Structure 1
Amino acid sequence: MNYFERIRALREDNDYTQREIAALLNVGQRTYADYEYGETRIPVSSLIILAKFYDVDMNYICGVSNAKKAFPKS
């Protein structure tokens, strides 16, 4: 699974709208939609924000692992 499929699945599983997640990332809804459709690459800094927000490991959100581990706390 690609990162753009993962961010969409996470958003839908948690009942958020694209507009809500776009606001979290300080981007427009259309830009966020482009992230989810794989039309625009999402910045790593935004992936980190999403991993923290959904409390999942970066390996999961990036599609490297299927294990939903919690985001490491510092």
Structure 2
Amino acid sequence: MDTESKNIQIRLADIRKSYNVKQKTLSDLLNVTTRQYQRYELGESDLPIAKAIILADYFEVSLDYLFNRSKKMSNLEIEYFSVIEEVKVLSTLNSKNKKVALEILKVLQQEQ
């Protein structure tokens, strides 16, 4: 098994398990047998790029993440962590300033 197949194997199994999805579900999605999907997951068979795209879209992750070339799942994950940082900043404000900040956000939201 080459390094690339090993990387894909790790991500496929990890992603599938984290989403609590059965191999059968993904094999149906890819229009392959469950055994063939298992081969992809175990690195016994190379995953065709067209099928990788289907899986990346299904799990809403980037191909770089799927192929273990990035630790970032997707732009959505980046936005999520950005929001978390902003919430942390808000949590440091005193109660009066939090109220002002939230009022400003409401006004900005209405102006969109």
Shared fold (TM-score, shorter chain, > 0.5): yes
Unmatched 5+ residue regions in structure 1? none
What pairs with 1:1-74 in structure 2 (closer than 5 Å)?
Answer: 2-70=7-75
TM-score (norm 2): 0.60
CA distance in 1, matches of 2:73, 2:20: 18
Greater CA drift, 3-12 or 24-33: 3-12
What is the SS of the residue equivalent to 1:23? helix
Q: CA deviation at 1:70?
A: 4.1
CA distance in 2, matches of 1:15, 1:56: 15
TM-score (norm 1): 0.90
Q: How many percent of aligned residue pairs carry the same amino acid?
A: 31
Tell me how many residue pairs correspond in the alignment: 71
Q: Deviations over 1:26-74 (max 9, x none)?
A: 0000000000000000100000000000000111001100111148xxx
Decide which structure has the larger Cα Rg and report it: 2
Write 1 or 2 for the structure with the bigger share of helix.
2
Unmatched 5+ residue regions in structure 2? 1-5, 77-112
Relative CO higher for 1 or 2, CA cutoff 8 Å, sep ≥ 6? 1
